[in-house]
Copies of this chain bind each other. A is one copy, B any other.
Amino acid sequence: MSEAAHHNGTTLTDEELRTLDAHWRAANYLAAGQIYLVSNPLLTEPLAPEHIKPRLLGHWGTSPGLNLVYTHLNRVIKERGLDALCVWGPGHGGPSVLANSWLEGSYSEKCPDVTRDAEGMAKLFRQFSFPGGVPSHVAPEVPGSIHEGGELGYSLAHAYGAAFDHPNLLVACVIGDGEAETGPLAASWHSNKFLDPVHDGAVLPILHLNGYKIANPTVLSRLPGPELDALLRGYGHEPITVSGDDPAQVHRALAQAFDAALDRIALLQRTAREEGVTQRPHWPMIVLRTPKGWTGPAEVDGVPVEGTWRAHQVPLAGVRENPEHLRQLEAWLKSYRPEELFDADGRPRADVLACVPEGARRLGATPYANGGLLVRELPIGSLDDFAVPVDKPGATLHEPTRVLGGLLEQVMKDTAARRDFRLVGPDETASNRLEAVFDASGKAWQAEILPVDEHLDRHGRVMEILSEHLCQGWLEGYLLTGRHGLFSCYEAFVHIVDSMVNQHIKWLKTSRELTWRAPVASLNYLLTSHVWRQDHNGFSHQDPGFVDHVLNKSPEVVRVYLPPDANTLLSVADHALRSRDYVNVIVAGKQPCFDWLSMDQARVHCARGAGIWEWAGTENGAEPDVVLACAGDVPTQEVLAAAQLLRRHLPQLAVRVVNVVDMTRLLPHEEHPHGMPDFEYNGLFTADKPVIFAYHGYPWLIHRLAYRRDGHANLHVRGYKESGTTTTPFDMVVRNDLDRYRLVMDVIDRVPGLAVRAAGVRQQMADARARHHTWIREHGTDLPEVADWTWAS
């Protein structure tokens, strides 16, 4: 007997049981059909090899479980009039979600070609995992999905992200017991300490223990019952267990479990919303223990398949060649009694559809899973209200991220009622100097609050947890369901989510190609505490490679900005926050940084993405002798200091200073929508003069972007080359040959004729570097001439 039987949930009537089972059988039939059949969808002819797909692809094992959950979600959505979304953690169960959305009609609404009849069923089957058709996973092509689940681990974080600030939404989340072994999923359980029962919806985790992964049992399925129960209670949940392999018994128990869980959710929400109780609720969850590949072939070729890992993908692999397999497949498909489920035209019968809700309540039709339908313009005030005044370049210092904090505070305030903007980060909002936002919103926190705590808030929209995975997963879920946000992160540790951002970019790329998916707000990163100012934490905290990672991905989706000061940061952040369907990576420092551009200048410079800073160079209309280019705040400062040294020591040299904000401008315009045409590139960098490029990250990235340009042979890049430790800020640039003295030496080495003429200057620069080395070892600080440096033209 399952635990659910202890609850006084509704008991299914026989009629309900019959129709639920019919829906489940229909979904199972359609899932198996997609994997196997290329024609003869209703088995109106005896099954023959020519009806079978030439390549059998797809995952049967998880499908019956997903079908069961979909069926029962239908019942409670319809009965209770719920707004619901389901995150299908076992995202490889594409056949299942496709089957259900076809049954409920939402699939045909998105893809009118695939009608809800025999002809459409044949197309549904044929297109699955077929070239030019639909992929095998719960990909963007699948209605109702916000989660593909390709690499596993993010379902529960996505579910929470979807639930935040959607108070009337139920987000069910099926978690496979394979996925449950991943780190991100294991951490996600604690998301319930961040779910506000007043302003957020509910998440109902459904842990599906079908016992096996590809080739192994799963850890959680092999825990003794009391140990698993302790674990889930330790995660802060009240588990309701449903277990069995008899369909009728499982239907009854699962219906009771859903009713008990939803009753409890309603009670907890009422308690918090109407009675003002602030104690963290222990939310219900369902543990569903059913066989892997349930209702599929029990044995194949003499070995058990149903209920084992062998059911993971295609249980009968040799159907086209092996008559026994073909016979087994036919018997399996007929075991669902398709003639009871579909009429002669292949339309689902009324019984099958009895549990299906109407219109936008259908899981495949909910606008919550097509967030672009819900998203509103983010209110962003005039940047002039937050800008720092700049009368002349380099006269003042500001912490750029602190200035951005002012803008974010205002956005947070202006969305206080709408609640559609969140800031996420791993415990670093204040460390990253964004703490002004706390004047508009505290930090979400549902666990115990002590008097000594600051800014913790049961209704906060700043999210901090020491898990980049959760920050990313929450934000993805939040954005894909129609809201806005920003992820602020230490630059080095954003690599933790490399693989997650891969998947999100792939999701966006595919979504953009689907006319029915409306554009969602971009995923915005603010990478700060960056490589050049991790001098105090040392080598482990120094890595600027996320930009390289992102720039490998689809150019229509990715954007990378390196604003050199506070006002340019405001400008690119404004642009990023307003944009749709992008991943915007902004790298900006939190340490005091010279203000180079006024707000108006910053707007123009950022709109261009790259430009000549005439005031910083020494050219006079003619072609320069050398271009000093820079991207990033610290490289910009070093380039300006180098330009100043050149002006002093080699006043006849015509030096041009170019600053790049938008890295993708360096790409050919055939390769990226922001790429510059060659004439524009040559206008900035010249076609044949030496270019010394001081770049924030790994130097070869610039070559990778610019290798096709005319002047590439003259391009010399300095950047981070993995030479770091705990040291001083200036020593970091010296170690990596990005310092002002080295840049001047580079100019002397590369401008024809200068090597001899400027040998003395070169020696002075080398001496300054030597002086630096001696000084820091003695004093532990930077040379006064560096620490006190200011710009003067």
Residues of chain A touching chain B, judged by Cβ–Cβ distance below 8 Å, are 38, 53-55, 57, 91-92, 129-137, 139, 148, 150-153, 178-179, 181-190, 193, 213-219, 222-224, 227-236, 304, 307-308, 427-431, 443, 445, 447-448, 450, 452-453, 456, 464-467, 469-470, 492-493, 495-496, 498-499, 502-503, 506, 509-510, 536-541, 543, 545, 548-549, 552-554, 698, 700-701, 703-704, 707, 712, 722, 725-728, 731, 776-777, 779-781
Chain B residues with Cβ below 8 Å from A130 are 726, 780
A499-B495 in contact given A190-B181, A217-B453, A465-B219 (Cβ < 8 Å):
yes
Known: A178-B427, A552-B698. 17 other contacts (CB 8 A): A54-B779, A54-B781, A55-B536, A131-B777, A135-B538, A137-B537, A139-B538, A152-B466, A182-B466, A213-B427, A223-B447, A230-B234, A492-B502, A496-B499, A502-B545, A509-B722, A545-B549
User: What's the Cα separation between A704 and B704 when bound, in Å?
Assistant: 5
Contacts of A431 in B (CB 8 A): 214-215
Interface-central residue, A216, A222, A224, by most chain B CB under 10 Å: A216
Q: With A230-B233, A452-B308, A536-B129 in contact, do A183 and B467 touch (Cβ < 8 Å)?
A: yes
A486 CB to closest chain B CB (Å) equals 17
Listed A/B pairs (14) with beta-carbon separation below 8 Å: A92-B537, A129-B536, A130-B726, A131-B777, A136-B536, A137-B540, A178-B427, A179-B466, A183-B184, A217-B448, A217-B453, A230-B231, A492-B502, A700-B704
Contact present for A552 and B541 (CB under 8 Å): no
B151 near A429 with CB under 8 A, answer no
In order of increasing CB-CB distance, the 8 nearest A-B pairs are A231-B234, A150-B540, A183-B183, A186-B186, A495-B499, A222-B447, A135-B538, A230-B234
**Other-chain residue from B129, B215, B493 in contact with A151 (beta carbon distance below 8 A):** B493
The one of B552, B727, B776 that contacts A545, using a Cβ cutoff of 8 Å: B552
Q: In the assembled complex, how far is the CB of residue A271 from the closest CB belonging to chain B, in whole angstroms? A: 18
Cα distance A237–B702 when bound, in Å? Answer: 51
Q: Are A464 and B215 in contact (CB under 8 A)?
A: yes
* Choice from B131, B232, B537 contacting A776 with Cβ under 8 Å: B131
Tell me whether B465 and A135 are in contact (CB under 8 A).
Answer: no
Tell me the nearest residue of chain B to A701, going by C-beta. Answer: B704
A495 CB contacts on chain B under 8 angstroms: 498-499, 502
Closest partner residue, chain B, to A493 (CB atom): B151
What's the Cα separation between A447 and B537 when bound, in Å? 40
Evaluate whether A430 and B304 lie within 8 angstroms (CB atoms) in the complex, with A135-B538, A466-B182, A498-B549 already known.
no
CB–CB B506/A539 < 8 A: yes
A314 to chain B minimum Cβ distance, whole angstroms, is 10
Q: How far is the CA of A460 from the CA of B5 in the complex (A)?
A: 41
Contact between B781 and A731 (Cβ–Cβ < 8 Å)? no
Closest beta carbon of chain B to A507's beta carbon, Å: 8
Q: Are A151 and B492 in contact (CB under 8 A)?
A: yes
User: CA A552 – CA B548 in complex, angstroms?
Assistant: 9
Chain B residues lying within 8 Å of A183, measured Cβ to Cβ, are 153, 182-188, 467, 469-470
In the complex, the answer to whether B213 meets A726 with C-beta atoms within 8 Å is: no
- What is the distance, in angstroms, from A534's C-beta to the closest C-beta of chain B? 10
A214 to B430, CA, bound (A): 9
| Across-interface contacts of A548 in B (CB, < 8 A) | 548-549, 552
How far apart are A20's CB and chain B's nearest CB, in angstroms?
30
Query: Chain B residues near A698 (CB, 8 Å)?
Result: 552
| Max count, chain B CB within 10 A of own CB: residue among A131, A549, A552, A726 | A131
Nearest CB on B from A514, distance (A):
13
Find A727's partner among B131, B469, B538, B552 (CB 8 Å cutoff): B131
Q: How many angstroms from the CA of A185 to the CA of B537 in the assembled complex?
A: 21
CB-CB under 8 A from A304, the residues of chain B are 452
Cross-chain contact B139 with A539 (CB below 8 angstroms)? yes
- Interfacial chain B residues near A134, Cβ < 8 Å: 726
CA distance A137 to B536 in the complex (A): 10
Report which of B186, B456, B496, B780 forms a contact with A53, defined as CB distance below 8 A. Answer: B780
What is the bound-complex CA distance between A725 and B179, given in angstroms?
Answer: 22
- Contact assessment for A540 and B148 in the assembled complex, using a CB-CB cutoff below 8 Å: yes
Give A731 to B304 CA distance when docked, in angstroms.
Answer: 35
Is the pair B781, A55 in contact by a Cβ cutoff of 8 Å? yes
Q: Report whether A139 and B498 are in contact in the complex, using a CB–CB cutoff of 8 Å.
A: no
Identify A539's interface contact among B135, B187, B215, CB under 8 A: B135
- Please state if B53 and A466 are interface contacts (CB–CB under 8 Å): no
- Complex CA–CA separation, A496 to B453 (angstroms): 34
Please give me the residue from chain B that is nearest to A540 by CB atom: B150
- A222: contacting residue among B430, B448, B466, CB under 8 A: B448
- Residues B725 and A135 in contact, CB atoms below 8 Å apart: yes
A40 to chain B, nearest CB (A): 16
Chain B residues near A499: list those with CB within 8 A: 492-493, 495-496, 498
Min Cβ gap A699→B in Å is 10
Asked whether, in the complex, the Cβ of B428 is within 8 Å of the Cβ of A150, the reply is no
Select A427's contact among B214, B227, B229, beta carbons within 8 Å: B214
**Cα A398 to Cα B231 with chains together (Å):** 46
CA separation between A703 and B545, bound complex, in Å? 17
Q: How far is the CB of A456 from chain B (nearest CB, A)?
A: 7
CB-CB under 8 A from A181, the residues of chain B are 187, 190, 465-467, 470
B-chain residues with CB within 8 Å of residue A184 when the two chains form the complex: 183
Bound together, the chains give a CA A637 to CA B499 distance in angstroms of 29
Which single residue of chain B is at the shortest CB-CB distance from A186? Answer: B186
Report whether B537 and A54 are in contact in the complex, using a CB–CB cutoff of 8 Å: no
- A186: chain B residues at CB < 8 Å are 183, 186-187, 189-190
Q: Which of A184, A427, A466, A727 neighbours the largest number of chain B CB atoms within 10 Å of its CB?
A: A466
In the assembly, what is the distance between CA of A496 and CA of B183, in Å? 10
Give the complex CA separation of A91 and B538 in angstroms.
Answer: 12
The closest CB in chain B to the CB of A177 belongs to B466
Contact A135 B712 (CB under 8 A): no
Closest to A304 in B: B452
